Chains A and B, each alone.
Chain A
Amino acid sequence: MDLLNAFVALMNFVVIPASAYGAQLALGALGVTLIYAILRFSNFAHGDTMAFGTMVTILVTWALQGAGLSLGPVPTALLAMPVGIFGAAALVLLTDRAVYRFYRRQKAAPVILVIVSTGLMFIYNGVVRFIIGVDDQSFDDGARFVLSAREFREATGLQEALTLRTSQAITLITAVIVVALLFWFLNRTRTGKSMRAFADNEDLALLSGISPERVVAITWIIVAALATVAGTLYGLDKSFKPFTYFQLLLPIFASAIVGGLGSPVGAIVGGFVIAFSEVTVTYAFKKVLVYLLPDGWGPDGLVQLLGTDYKFAVSFAILVIVLLFRPTGLFRGKSG
């Protein structure tokens, strides 16, 4: 029984939250990795692209809620997400037209584009704060739990409870669908293959008649969609605050680099590696250990390796370790 309790506690406090967080990071990292593969630079404005898409989603959600529309137990934000994707896509396409295209024409080195994206990061950042404010925004509605603590306890009779929040369930389901769609698109469709061809060998893609501007535009649209979905899911799961999204840039880049920049599979694996490390290292294992160890052997302290305030240090540490020992990432990305 104690073993079961320990298992449930671990599931409840580590596995489920880390899976949801990992899925959000994976979606974010996929966007970063696609830009790296096709436009050949690290897009530092990605976190704020997520914030922008999420902001549009939130505004539309509020409007829908105001009009009395809802999806029942499912958050209204899912209904608003397509508009958010559209908004983010419009933003990045406009940016590409006005800014990035100029540097592409100059055949500017990728490092220039990195700096450009940093500038855009600050601009997006300011725009989002200007429109929606700097505070926490809540836009979650519908049923809060798929499986609540009380239901679980009553059903199993265990001391520990396994809870599954609606946002976590939706995160996981949405992530699976989005990733499946993305891989189908990249591997099965003509346009997706032309994107891979362009990422592989730009000159030969040109000689085959693949239009670079079209590939770039489609990439931005997909990235905007991924960013908005990731941002909205994160917002539903935690909360929306522009600064948090700016901070998300670090774990997202860590995920993409750990998996191997330019490798979509790597981005997904990297997302889960970072999320599980972050949650495991900052979780207080006292409760689990008390169940597992014989009576009276339980630890006095919290058995928490790092305070949650230091969670970003975890992504950073993993990033450094991977770059030292396997610079191209776990899945042999295109860097290096």
Chain B
Amino acid sequence: MSGSGYGDRGNKDRSITRPGGGTMRVGTASGVHPLPRDDTAPFLIGERMTGGYGKGADILHDCTIGVDPGEIAVIVGPNGAGKSTAMKAVFGMLDLRGGAVRLEGEDITALSPQDRVARGMAFVPQTSNIFTSMTVEENLEMGAFLRRDDIRGTMAQVYDLFPILKDKRRQAAGELSGGQRQQVAVGRALMTQPRVLMLDEPTAGVSPIVMDELFDRIIEVARTGISILMVEQNARQALEIADKGYVLVQGSNAFTGTGADLLADDDVRRSFLGG
């Protein structure tokens, strides 16, 4: 926003204006050319993505991330490696200057994030990922906003997956604990009946026990045939459940392989998993 001439500099009067408006930006796909349909590629793939935010420097360099139905793909790497950025790029929140994103072989590089939601992609941001002032049930209803059919079946599935949410369904989501909030966030995303679920550090700020629990739930979701693409700080645990692992360093693919391969790889262990 800086430099646009419409900034908020010096304004601290909250009785006149309310902070915290939308920050989500829609990426552009400048200089990206549609690729021919390719049916052999993974279900969802961000291929050789190059780009950054706005007119800023490139953060991603020829970065490729992909996931197949029912698989869990995990993006790990050191701080500032561009893990979240890579995922945002796949979701259309980045200005791509090279590469393409394809879903089922179809080029969706130019689609806005909302259009991607309609195509069956769901995104759980790292922070502010629930409607705090609304009840748990309303959060789930809002997740299903685009759907016009009966949502009760999906809601029952979410409650089966996260039984605690059923007990708390009339409570404001903002009153829940950190782990429960993450369950609401994942539940909200599942309400769209997505084919791909993208999670940005779902275990950030929750206790180790809750983290194991969340990972178990994520595996359960993947078993229903939904692809999971996930950024994780807890690299070791995440790779243990991953079918595919992407280790990013400075916006490029450093290592790629199955979770088990990466865990067994000496280089990866030494550099990222602490020996």
Contact = CB atoms under 8 A, between A and B. Distances in A.
Contact of A40 (B1, B15, B18, B125): B18
B194 to A, nearest CB: 11
B4 A262 contact: no
A212 B7 contact: no
Q: Categorize the interface residue count of chain A.
A: 35 or more
A106 B131 contact: no
Contacts, number: 128
B18 A109 contact: no
B141 interface: yes
A150 to B, nearest CB: 47
Given A109-B7, A196-B134, A197-B142, A207 B113 contact: yes
B22 A212 contact: yes
A335 B18 contact: yes
A261 B15 contact: yes
Contacts of A334: 18
Contacts of B4: 106-108
A110 B17 contact: yes
Contacts of A201: 128, 130-132
A58 B229 CA distance: 60
Most buried by A among B1, B17, B18, B129: B18
Contacts of A336: 14
Contacts of A293: none
Most buried by A among B16, B130, B131, B138: B16
B13 to A, nearest CB: 8
Interface string A297-311: 000000000000000
Contact of B22 (A37, A206, A257, A261): A206
A261 B141 CA distance: 26
Interface string B86-104: 0000000000000000000
A317 interface: no
A37 B18 contact: yes
Given A107-B1, A208-B145, A41 B125 contact: no
Nearest to A108: B6
Interface string B9-28: 00101111111111110000
A283 interface: no
Nearest to A191: B145
Most buried by B among A112, A212, A257, A262: A112
B15 A200 contact: no
Contact of B114 (A194, A196, A209): A209
Q: Categorize the interface residue count of chain B.
A: 35 or more
Contacts of A194: 142, 145
A210 B191 CA distance: 14
A201 B133 CA distance: 9
Contacts of B142: 193-194, 197, 205, 208, 210
B125 A103 contact: no
B143 A203 contact: no
Interface string A249-281: 000000001000110000000000000000000
A42 B23 contact: no
Interface string A199-241: 1111111111110100000000000000000000000000000
Contacts of B16: 41-42, 110-111, 114
B10 to A, nearest CB: 9
Most buried by B among A36, A203, A204: A204
A110 B8 contact: yes
A173 interface: no
A335 B1 CA distance: 22
B128 A203 contact: yes
Contacts of A210: 142, 145
A41 B17 contact: yes
Contacts of A206: 22, 24, 113-114
A257 B1 contact: no
A113 B146 CA distance: 30
B188 interface: yes
Contacts of A212: 22
Most buried by A among B4, B15, B22, B23: B15
Given A197-B131, A205-B142, A209-B146, 6 more contacts: A41-B17, A108-B4, A193-B142, A201-B130, A208-B145, A327-B15
Interface of B: 1, 4, 6-8, 11, 13-24, 113-114, 117-118, 122-123, 125, 128-134, 138, 141-143, 145-146, 188, 192
Give me the 7 closest cross-chain CB pairs, A-B, nearest first: A110-B17, A109-B8, A202-B22, A108-B6, A209-B146, A335-B14, A40-B18
